[in-house]
Amino acid sequence: MPSVVVVGTQWGDEGKGKIIDLFTGSAQHIVRAQGGNNAGHTIQIGDLEYKLHLIPSGILHPNTQCYIGAGTVIDPKVLIHEIKSLEERGIDTKERLWLSPAAHVIFPYHCLLDTLLEAKKGERFIGTTGRGIGPCYVDKANRIGIRIGELVRNDLFPKLLKSVLTLKNEKLTKLYNEAALSYELLLEEYSSYADTLRPYVVDVETRIHEALEKGENILLEGAQGTFLDITVGTYPYVTSSNTTASGICVGAGIGPRAIDHVIGVIKAYTTRVGNGPLPSEEKNSFLDHQSAREFGTTTGRKRRIGWFDAVLARTAVRYNSLDSLALTKLDILDNQETINICVAYSIDGVRTEHLPTLSCDIEKIIPIYETLPGWLTTTENITSIDALPPNARAYLQRIEQLCGVPISVLSLGPEREKTIIVNDPFTHEVAVR
């Protein structure tokens, strides 16, 4: 049975939460494999809206097993708050949500150092969420991080915390002239979190492999987007984890050959939160932020907006070995008389159809556009591809041609029912067009 990866193809906020929720009904196991509470998924079910930052979206389906994998970083306070918020709305997480003991733990010193370092960066200011994600991954790379499996061990955690906090307090007091953090208070606070989370900690990687061996359906949900990847993203304006399909596999503890289908979620236009290059950006946006719902799930910040960037999309197809696209927010373009697609770049007068490696070169890009006519009619209640306005169909076909992969899902609004599934990666059912 299939294992499917859902990955963002832009800079996050593509609508992955809805697409993940859509296919969760076909999967028995849902895995969140990387990142932390710097990312967010918004899922609309009827009149109810759920915003999740750590817990996999599949928790909203009662028959799923949900996992937070080894590649993640977990703020226990945030996770416990999410668990309680879900339970207050009648969604039980016990015996359904599981944490990898290899996931790393975010502490207050991570959040504090995140803010302090960002303030010192000057022109290299990134615009991080300040949630301590980067400093936690730094500790992981430096091999001084504390993992969930260690947090819940009373024989290990006090000694590890004392050792790490000594290093952090030296940095806080001597480099940043900040007050030292109290070992006793941190130990008390995090020991309380450990008591709450201990029943959730299991050997997640083994459970996932057992599910694979049984032929059960597995959905791996990506956080953020391809071009926020620490390795292939628009560095330094990136996150601190690997956000591509291969990074998701590593974070879940499985190999790439276990994956049957990779879906790239992509907006019908392009957005980005925070600093960094956005080649097709329109400073005077062609969309209204409020009606387009273009505010970050995690930060609430207004998103920057640009036209669909086919060069960027093709690059994401290559980085993720995408099998298909889930295109979201087509309905937001309903009132556009004309619609631009960025088909190439001009850099210092030279045309290229490839994304440069360095952000300083990406910043020089002048987008080369192909202009298509809009459709000037609502699409949000349409239930088949053939029922779309001809110009909307032409727009989708052009995106498929430029990206080199088919569109398997089309989203026409935030609600579940406002979706056209062209080809289901789990059942392989092809919709009547």
How does the average pLDDT of the chain come out, rounded?
92
User: Residue 221's closest CA among 260, 257, 251, 255?
Assistant: 251
User: Residue 26's closest CA among 264, 210, 219, 220?
Assistant: 219
pLDDT (tens digit per residue) in 83-94: 999 999 999 999
Residues of the chain with CATH 3.90.170.10: 3-89+203-421
Dist. CA 173–CA 7, nearest whole Å: 40
- Give me the pLDDT at residue 127, please: 60
- Which residue has tokens 């030292």? 180
- Give me the pLDDT at residue 429, please: 66
What average pLDDT does the segment 323-352 reach?
96
Dist. CA 29–CA 39, nearest whole Å: 21
Question: 37 and 298 in contact (C-beta within 8 Å)?
Answer: yes
- Give me the pLDDT at residue 297, please: 61
CA angle 116, 117, 120 (to 5 degrees): 95
Dist. CA 309–CA 323, nearest whole Å: 19
CA angle 255, 257, 258 (to 5 degrees): 75
- Give me the pLDDT at residue 433, please: 46
User: Residue 234's closest CA among 363, 72, 406?
Assistant: 363
What average pLDDT does the segment 226-238 reach?
96
- Give me the pLDDT at residue 1, please: 58
What one-character DSSP code corresponds to residue 356?
Answer: -
Dist. CA 91–CA 68, nearest whole Å: 17
Dist. CA 136–CA 139, nearest whole Å: 5
Pairing type for strands 65-68 and 304-306 reads: unpaired
Q: 104-199, which class in CATH?
A: mainly alpha
- The contacts of residue 7 (CB under 8 Å, 6+ apart) are 16, 222, 225, 226, 243, 244, 245, 248, 262, 263, 264, 265, 320, 322
Please report which residue ranges of 237-353 form alpha helices under DSSP H.
245-252, 289-292, 310-320
Q: Is pLDDT of 299 > 70?
A: no
User: Residue 95's closest CA among 202, 244, 248?
Assistant: 202
Q: Which has the higher per-residue pLDDT, 352 or 289?
A: 352
pLDDT (tens digit per residue) in 376-387: 999 988 999 999
Instruction: Give the model's confidence band at 191: pLDDT under 50 very low, under 70 low, under 90 confident, else very high.
Output: very high
pLDDT (tens digit per residue) in 131-184: 999 999 999 999 999 999 999 999 999 999 999 999 999 999 999 999 999 999
- Give me the pLDDT at residue 60, please: 87
What average pLDDT does the segment 62-71 reach?
95
Lowest mean pLDDT among 195-209, 283-297, 401-415: 283-297
The CATH classification number of 3-89+203-421 equals 3.90.170.10
Pairing type for strands 29-32 and 218-221 reads: parallel
What average pLDDT does the segment 46-62 reach?
84
Give catalytic residue positions: 13, 41
Chain centroid to CA 359: 21
Q: Is pLDDT of 288 > 70?
A: no
- Give me the pLDDT at residue 28, please: 95
Question: 264 and 325 in contact (C-beta within 8 Å)?
Answer: yes
Q: Which has the higher per-residue pLDDT, 44 or 109?
A: 109
Lowest mean pLDDT among 35-49, 296-310, 377-391: 35-49
Q: Is pLDDT of 236 > 70?
A: yes
Longest dimension (CA), the chain: 66
Dist. CA 31–CA 87, nearest whole Å: 20
Residues of the chain with CATH 1.10.300.10: 104-199
- Give me the pLDDT at residue 431, please: 55
Q: Is pLDDT of 432 > 60?
A: no
The DSSP secondary structure of 374-394, one letter per residue, reads ---S--TT--SGGGS-HHHHH
